[in-house]
Structure 1
């Protein structure tokens, strides 16, 4: 994913499913551990990940992670990858 330097209002959307059958959607989740890597760097844990469930009724299991940490890229780069 490419995010402009310093932009902190972009989301990564993901679907949470049951770890046993990998099909059943998981709703009501509130605690997450999230890791990030910018430009191939070391995987680093988010300090305070902001994640919301979009709608347990209309889109069960669909969540959005706010990409709001470590988005300022090197001054010599036009863009960097973020995972």
Structure 2
């Protein structure tokens, strides 16, 4: 379901190809499947399941990715501040 969150979020941003056109949902899903070596089976079913979630659970994977990025940012910032004090 995490890959469905990513694909759907990127798709909803719009204009993701160089020509400014949005690829079809199927072609976009195929690129994800080939790139990451998995199968959605049916992207439409996956997206339906995603949108059946309660609003506070809609972006579990994206929230986890954000938390990891913020943690790493804080770690690097702390290290940089520590190096400055030396």
TM-score for the superposition, normalised by structure 2:
0.26
If asked which structure has higher relative contact order (CA below 8 Å, sep 6+), I would say 1
TM-score for the superposition, normalised by structure 1:
0.26
Structure possessing the higher radius of gyration over alpha carbons: 2
